[in-house]
């Protein structure tokens, strides 16, 4: 029996070798490994895909380092890990946050993997801020573990790579921690690639007002020849004079309520060394040391396009405008309440023409945003006659802004002058105004605004109102028919929304046709977004 079975197997094998059908019982099938479609792409294509990945953890910290996209990509498979480790620019963003327990080890790892690529560093060390905002109605007075030793070690590792710094953001809520960060930066001799510097320090409460700490002991000698963006919030202002060069394009200072350790003359010298400055933002500054006695020539800022004054002293504001020569201003933002007095002299400087050109600062303004301004109506109304190129008007709080009342008077006056024209006078009708944003208003006033532009043959194209404003459906449908874009702005006290509104203002001036979005349903609206509808 065994002999017959062996012969049968031999005959079947011989037939298989001759091209006959082989017995399936003796055939071993090897299945090839399955490969996903994305792994069939070339390494160069995968590298491009990984480089376009946007990281939300960098823009708004809240995710652990292991959940950042470069860390996740490196753990998918062996091929992806090899690709990501050979892409040093994926690892050049270093975040030092207080809730991370392994910042020192992660800092060393990122410095090694980023190789020689320029670094983007963010220090967000605010444990007390988290404790206070966990419950908005509660206050926290217990001890806070700032883990200063870990932060010092991480900063020490970063300072050894100061030649690679390109962006540096520091936000802390403790004076000692800020002193450690400033000391680490001040110990560096040069940061040749640094382009963006932002320092946000804490404040202390003295006599019921928030004032910055004195950081005059933090000596500064670091050279930053490539610095283009400088933002100091409650930070040592004497740094701005030493760090700015001719490449500076954005300057933002928020220093309540005076500027310590920096004189007005030093500040003007710093502006004179920044002829390419494009954005100048000044907030919560009441006075400068020696600004009243300073005498000098006007500082020419030919490329300045955006000027923002928020809660500055009226005398200081007037002095600044009198010392600057601004010829190409595109956007002006004013928030000047009556807490420090009246701003008649400030408005007079705005409407006074330069003797060399015969034109005012407002001559080239295309966007005007007014939150509040304490000034007499007659003087404030003169601003409207100095805005021939105004195309976007933004009023944050209409009911509390006197500028809103001035606009209503201007509407009534222009309608009367248009209906009964006089030979010796031609009314100015803001000929280029086609976009208006009203933070809070009434439906009747909105209708009058649209009808006014139609009467003077200057049709309004885009109108944005408060989302809380009650309006009839018929009235809203009529506005949609008469306007190219009719939208609602979602108002909220959050700072993120104010930044979004600022971006909307920029879009309305630069690319108004692209600033159109779909408004979600009332129950689907996110809390910190802007809703615009066509």
Q: What is the pLDDT of residues 405-446, one digit of tens each?
A: 778 777 777 767 666 666 555 566 788 888 888 877 778 778
Give φ, ψ of 118 to 5 degrees.
-60, 145
DSSP state of 18: T
| pLDDT tens-digit series, residues 220-247 | 677 788 888 988 887 766 666 656 667 8
0.85 exceeded by pTM: no
In whole angstroms, give the CA distance from residue 25 to residue 4.
18
Identify the weakest region by mean pLDDT among 175-184, 252-261, 263-272, 447-456.
252-261
Structure tokens at 484: 């190219």
DSSP lists the bridge partners of residue 205 as 210
In whole angstroms, give the CA distance from residue 506 to residue 502.
6
Number of other CB atoms surrounding residue 492 within 10 Å = 16
What average pLDDT does the segment 244-270 reach?
74
| pLDDT tens-digit series, residues 301-359 | 999 999 999 888 888 889 889 999 999 999 999 888 877 788 889 989 999 999 888 89
The continuous run of DSSP H or E covering 315 comes out as helix 314-323
Identify the weakest region by mean pLDDT among 63-67, 86-90, 242-246, 452-456.
63-67
In whole angstroms, give the CA distance from residue 210 to residue 298.
33
Predicted local confidence at residue 361, as pLDDT: 92
Where do we find the tokens 């933090």?
A: 218
Specify the pairing of strand 196-200 against strand 209-212: unpaired
For CA atoms 42, 45, 49, 51, the dihedral sign is positive
Structure tokens at 481: 């028919």
Identify the weakest region by mean pLDDT among 151-155, 422-426, 455-459.
422-426
Contact (CB, 8 A) for 432 and 461: no
Number of other CB atoms surrounding residue 22 within 10 Å = 13
Q: Write a three-state SS string for 254-277.
A: ECCCEEEEEEHHHHHHHHHCCCCC
Predicted local confidence at residue 413, as pLDDT: 72
Is the pLDDT assigned to residue 249 strictly greater than 80?
yes
Contact (CB, 8 A) for 125 and 177: yes
The continuous run of DSSP H or E covering 288 comes out as strand 287-289
| pLDDT tens-digit series, residues 96-114 | 887 777 888 888 988 998 8
């Amino acid at each position: 029996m065994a002999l017959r079975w062996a012969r049968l197997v031999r005959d079947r094998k011989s037939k298989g070798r001759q091209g006959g059908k082989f017995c399936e019982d003796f055939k071993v099938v090897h299945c090839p490994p399955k490969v996903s479609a994305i792994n069939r792409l070339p390494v160069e294509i995968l590298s491009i895909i990984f480089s376009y990945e946007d990281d939300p953890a960098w823009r708004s910290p809240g995710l652990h380092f292991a959940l950042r996209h470069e860390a996740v990509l490196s753990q998918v498979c062996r091929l992806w890990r090899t690709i990501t480790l050979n892409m040093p620019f994926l690892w050049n963003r270093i975040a030092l946050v207080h809730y991370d327990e392994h910042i020192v080890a992660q800092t060393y790892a990122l410095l090694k993997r980023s190789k020689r690529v320029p670094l983007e560093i963010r220090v967000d060390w605010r444990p007390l801020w988290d404790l206070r905002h966990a419950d908005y109605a509660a206050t926290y007075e217990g001890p806070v573990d700032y883990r200063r030793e870990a932060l010092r070690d991480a900063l020490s590792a970063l300072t050894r790579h100061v030649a690679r710094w390109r962006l540096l953001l520091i936000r802390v809520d403790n004076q000692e921690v800020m002193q450690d960060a400033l000391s680490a930066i001040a110990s560096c001799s040069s940061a040749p690639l640094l382009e963006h510097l932002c320092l946000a320090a804490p404040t202390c409460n003295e006599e019921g007002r928030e004032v910055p700490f004195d950081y005059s002991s933090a000596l500064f000698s670091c050279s930053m020849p490539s610095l283009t963006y400088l933002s100091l919030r409650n930070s040592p202002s004497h740094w701005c004079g030493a760090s700015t060069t001719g490449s500076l394009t954005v300057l933002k200072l928020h220093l309540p309520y005076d500027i310590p350790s920096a004189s007005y003359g030093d500040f003007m010298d710093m502006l004179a060394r920044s002829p390419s400055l494009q954005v100048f933002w000044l907030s919560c500054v009441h006075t400068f040391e020696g600004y009243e006695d300073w005498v000098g020539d006007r500082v020419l800022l030919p490329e300045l396009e955006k000027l923002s004054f928020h809660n500055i002293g009226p005398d200081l504001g007037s002095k600044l405008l009198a010392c600057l020569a601004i010829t190409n201003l595109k956007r002006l933002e004013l928030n000047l309440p009556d807490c420090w007095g009246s701003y008649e002299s400030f408005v007079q400087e705005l409407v006074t023409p330069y003797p060399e050109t015969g034109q005012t600062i407002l001559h080239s303004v295309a966007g005007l945003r007014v939150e509040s301004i304490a000034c007499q109506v007659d003087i404030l109304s003169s601003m409207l006659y100095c805005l021939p190129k105004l195309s976007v008007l933004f009023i944050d709080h209409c009911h509390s802004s006197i500028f809103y009342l001035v606009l209503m008077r201007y509407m009534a006056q222009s309608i009367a002058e248009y209906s009964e024209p006089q030979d010796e006078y031609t009314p100015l009708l803001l000929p280029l105004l086609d976009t208006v944003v009203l933070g809070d208003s009434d439906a009747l006033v909105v209708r009058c605004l649209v009808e006014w532009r139609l009467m003077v043959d200057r049709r309004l194209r885009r109108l944005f109102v408060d989302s809380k404003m009650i309006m009839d459906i018929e009235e809203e449908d009529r506005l949609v028919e008469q306007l190219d874009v009719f939208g609602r702005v979602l108002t909220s006290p959050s700072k993120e929304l104010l930044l979004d509104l600022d971006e909307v203002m920029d879009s309305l001036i630069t690319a108004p046709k692209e600033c159109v979005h779909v408004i979600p349903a009332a129950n689907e609206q996110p809390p910190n977004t802007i809703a615009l509808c066509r």
